[in-house]
Structure 1
Amino acid sequence: LEQPFNPNGEKVTYIAVGDDYVAKKLVEKAAKSPYLVVQASYESKLTEQADVVLPVSIWAEQEGHYINLDGRIRKAEKAITAPENVRDNLDVLTELAKRMKVNLDADWTKAIRERKSSVSLN
């Protein structure tokens, strides 16, 4: 999240940070956006300046998948329960896609299984 971005006349900036650290550069660039939506697990300088904040659960409150160094998909289990009315990142993004009439590919694992690993352990 250190990579700068430049709002180039966009009317809305949507930043999904989850529970990642929010860099000062990102906060400064986001301040230039006319309308800011932030998807985040924690309050920050970024959420303070947002027009809309979509709260999401932290990593320990989510089930999901990750890719290990061998390029294999592994399941991650939820360790604790999120507070009531707090959704995970996937739920929020899926709901947004639905409302925007964007069809998401249900078999997202297929693309991952078919790609070659970018890491070699030789």
Structure 2
Amino acid sequence: MDMSYEAALLKVADAYAARVAEHGGKSLARVATIVVNRGSFFDRLRDGAGCSSRSLDRLFDWFRDPTNWPANDISSEARAALVGVGRPALCTTCDHRLTDTAIRACPVRGCPHAQREAA
């Protein structure tokens, strides 16, 4: 069953909020302010308000970058939701798209991130 882009974004946001609760970091309101200049974005989306494709694109791009996540680690639930909407997480070093949600290290030969994760 496919989920809507809004539902996928909320799933990613929930996973991010769980990581923040565990490791500390920016609140969802702060992320929304930084990315789409509206701190109430996620509350409004949960209340049934719509959003533009531009806002969705900006937020998905922000969430797919592991350096924006606490401990630089995107949860498997968030990775799956990102892949489901065609926005897989990126390697922090070479920007390779990490489409396999089970792999956390970059599979690109010669990427320093892959070597660091394998060690």
Structure 2 length normalisation: TM-score? 0.26
TM-score, with structure 1 as normaliser = 0.25
Structure ranking higher in strand proportion: 1
Bigger relative contact order, structure 1 or 2, given CA contacts below 8 A and separation 6+? 2
Decide which structure has the larger Cα Rg and report it: 1
